[in-house]
Amino acid sequence: MSIPADQMELREEEIVAHYDAAVAMLQGLDHTPRVAAPKDVSDAPERSPGIARTRRFRSTTPGLVTRSTARPEGVRLVERIEASDGGDALVSPVQATVLQSLRRSIAIGLAIGEAFSAQTGLGELKRENLEGRLPKAKSTEFSQLLEAEALAVLYSFANAITFLLASSASEATVEVGTVEEVLTDNAQLALHGCLWELDQDIALFAEDEARLVATVLAFGEQLMERVALRAQSAERIAPFADARYRVQADDLTIAGFTPARRGKGSTLTMSFKRPNQVVGNHIAKYQAMKLAKMVMAYDFERKLNPFAEMGGFIFTFMGDGKPGTGKTTLIQMMAGLIDEYCKAADYPFRYQNFSIDQIDSYQGKSGQNAKSFINNVMDPNVIGFGTVDDIDQIAGKRGDRQSSAGQQEVTAVLMEAFSGANTVVRGNCTFGMFSNYPENVDDALRQRAGARFLVDGPKTRDDFIDILHLLMGKNHDIPVGDHDLFAAQEIKTAVAASFEGHGRPHEDGLLRVWEQVEKDIGRLDTVAKMGTYLKAIQKVDERFTGRSIKNITDAVKVRAMDFELPDEWMQDPELFLFKGYDEKLGMIREMTQPITVDMVLQEINRYADSEFRYADKSDEAAIENAVRDMGRMEEARRRYSDGKTSK
């Protein structure tokens, strides 16, 4: 496979050349901590009762460091890792994998440091410094380049180890805490410091092989985060931050301070639902079915989806409705469809839900959990679907005293991820936020939902007959009666009727605006008149901003692609999914239809109806709370007066 033009190949011989140095660090090094305090590993759990921590056989290789592990500065990671299985004399496959991955990751980091030195002239400055002829005028530049090299080496090491060990991860998790010993004097000292801290974490947490892998992975993640934060204020780091190095043998791309992810899907255990098991919710079901196929058009080589390029891809959406109307069923249907399509195409699929359990009392931990959730779903090497159920409980409103610090952290992370300065919509994933009470979601976060799915459940008589028959199952012989089962759920007919129903607003407040504008300027059949309608909405609801208009126009573009990719294209990947990016783009463009006035007005009304609905609910909830508070105060005054009288 050829190397893309925007990437630099990190040749295998350049990496292997650093193996000896990497092995020497793993076998033994001395390091006295400068920033972090040594951890107390004396109470670390024994691997097995009565078995010593150290191995029964010691290497006699000449020159091997053999100082006692009791010395706080003595670090021998090979021995530490080999002791993680209860003292077995032989190295296990898992231990060997960890050691091999550490050696290769250190070598990759050193090779990238060498490339950085050659690119920036640091190598020549090092030679001048060793020979004592470094000019004083260059001392600042020398120090800054040494720091930048140390950061590049540390991040590349951490990035590589989390990538290489990802396939060995189990369900075990470990919290190693913040990495403290991050030194930037030079690359060698930087690696010594982080390996010293990793050694202590393994001693504390690696009770067995599963937790050994989990500890190294957690350490790598924390080290990447800490180094990336330090790099924000570092000088002369741009040559690494802007570079893309390709390690062909490992299928690894190190792109600056962006974590590399291995394209590994997750195993789903949820109960999937078929579209015919979702009764009512016609527009929401139709858009979810379309989106499940849209995300499959993602091109793994180009790292882009034709729908995203054309502007018709739904990156984020909000599903709201009363309890019991089918939000969970909709999630199960959409996840099931994507999972089915990915299995047919042999694509990795990753589904993840962010729940209330991931709100942590430790400062910053909730934000870290949210960031990890976003990164896992947005991994460009997988098809991703992320959901935040009951988002009103998980993400706090800014300024709301009842919201915890953890909820506020989650809100900040989601807002930045869904529509921040660095947000890149590749079209490989989509995020759904679901709530029974969307009016309690922060306004700015809610407006980052590009599409709105009103999940209102069964509405008509036919809907209720269909859902009763569906949920009763087959263990009965009760006749259906005068009813054509599931005819009302025929998706094309139901959706067309649902969209037409938005030709006029549903909410009373918006309907008054519509009628007044129509009275003033007549039928809304030009861009100017529709813009006048939008401005009139904004006068009534100041939250109706430019972002709202963007969400509406994105929805209109989706309507212009008001077609479902044929089922055969999902069942036989050769018909569409395995074609080249440009060919897929052409096939989609052939199916696109022109935008009409009716489409635009229906999408304006759908979006604005949802905002007015949220505002009305929010206002009503505030009024009810105020009335309740007034009643409490009145009762308190009465009791206070009665108490004074009795005295």
Specify whether 223 is located in the same domain as 337.
no
User: Which of 71-80, 425-434, 627-636 shows the lowest mean pLDDT across its residues?
Assistant: 71-80
pLDDT at 622: 62
3-state secondary structure of 501: helix
In a domain, 102, yes or no: yes
Q: Render pLDDT for 508-550 as a digit per residue (tens, 0 to 9).
A: 889 999 999 999 999 999 999 999 999 999 998 887 888 888 8
617 has pLDDT over 70: no
Specify whether 494 is located in the same domain as 604.
yes
296: CB partners within 8 A, 6+ apart: 338, 341, 342, 345, 347, 383, 565, 570, 577
C-alpha span between 263 and 279 (Å, rounded): 35
Specify whether 226 is located in the same domain as 282.
no
In a domain, 631, yes or no: no
Per DSSP, the residues of 305-352 read -HHHHHT----EEEEE-STTSSHHHHHHHHHHHHHHHHHHHT--EEEE
Q: Render pLDDT for 145-171 as a digit per residue (tens, 0 to 9).
A: 999 999 999 999 999 999 999 888 877
Specify whether 242 is located in the same domain as 344.
no
Per DSSP, the residues of 567-597 read HHHHHSGGGTTTS-HHHHHHHHHHH-----H
pLDDT at 441: 86
3-state secondary structure of 334: helix
In a domain, 445, yes or no: yes
Q: What letter would DSSP give residue 51?
A: -
pLDDT at 202: 93
Specify whether 248 is located in the same domain as 310.
no
pLDDT at 396: 83
pLDDT at 87: 66
CATH number of residue 370's parent domain = 3.40.50.300
Specify whether 227 is located in the same domain as 302.
no
C-alpha span between 322 and 220 (Å, rounded): 43
Decide: 325 and 281 in contact? Cβ < 8 Å.
yes
In a domain, 290, yes or no: yes
C-alpha span between 247 and 224 (Å, rounded): 18
In a domain, 283, yes or no: yes
C-alpha span between 195 and 77 (Å, rounded): 8
Specify whether 552 is located in the same domain as 463.
yes
Span 72-95, average pLDDT: 80
Span 213-218, average pLDDT: 92
C-alpha span between 635 and 647 (Å, rounded): 19
Q: What letter would DSSP give residue 542?
A: T
Decide: 264 and 257 in contact? Cβ < 8 Å.
no
In a domain, 640, yes or no: no
3-state secondary structure of 258: strand
C-alpha span between 88 and 251 (Å, rounded): 33
Q: Render pLDDT for 296-326 as a digit per residue (tens, 0 to 9).
A: 999 988 889 999 888 778 899 988 888 877 7
pLDDT at 20: 95
User: Which of 85-89, 365-369, 505-509 shows the lowest mean pLDDT across its residues?
Assistant: 85-89
Span 30-36, average pLDDT: 88
Q: What letter would DSSP give residue 389?
A: E
Span 24-50, average pLDDT: 73
User: Which of 26-35, 416-425, 516-525 shows the lowest mean pLDDT across its residues?
Assistant: 416-425
pTM: 0.61
Please tell me which residue, 363 or 468, carries the higher pLDDT value: 468
3-state secondary structure of 231: helix
pLDDT at 368: 82
Specify whether 14 is located in the same domain as 137.
yes
Specify whether 101 is located in the same domain as 160.
yes
Among the listed residues 383, 453, 381, 378, the one whose alpha carbon sits nearest the alpha carbon of residue 414: 378
Specify whether 86 is located in the same domain as 197.
yes
Specify whether 227 is located in the same domain as 282.
no
Specify whether 207 is located in the same domain as 327.
no
Among the listed residues 282, 235, 226, 251, the one whose alpha carbon sits nearest the alpha carbon of residue 380: 251
| C-alpha torsion angle, residues 264, 296, 259, 396 (rounded to 10) | -110
266 has pLDDT over 70: no
In a domain, 501, yes or no: yes
Tell which of 220, 255, 290 closes a domain. Answer: 255
Highest averaged pLDDT of the listed ranges 144-148, 467-471, 487-491, 607-611: 144-148
Confidence band of 497 (pLDDT split at 50, 70, 90): low
Highest averaged pLDDT of the listed ranges 40-49, 67-76, 109-118, 472-481: 109-118
Number of structural domains in the chain: 2
Among the listed residues 342, 353, 335, the one whose alpha carbon sits nearest the alpha carbon of residue 300: 342
In a domain, 644, yes or no: no
pLDDT at 158: 95
C-alpha span between 190 and 403 (Å, rounded): 40
112 backbone dihedrals φ, ψ, rounded to 5°: -70, -35
Averaged pLDDT score across all residues of the chain: 83
Span 106-113, average pLDDT: 96
Domain span at 325 = 275-621
Q: Distance of CA 403 to CAs 100, 359, 449, 528, Å?
A: 46, 11, 21, 42
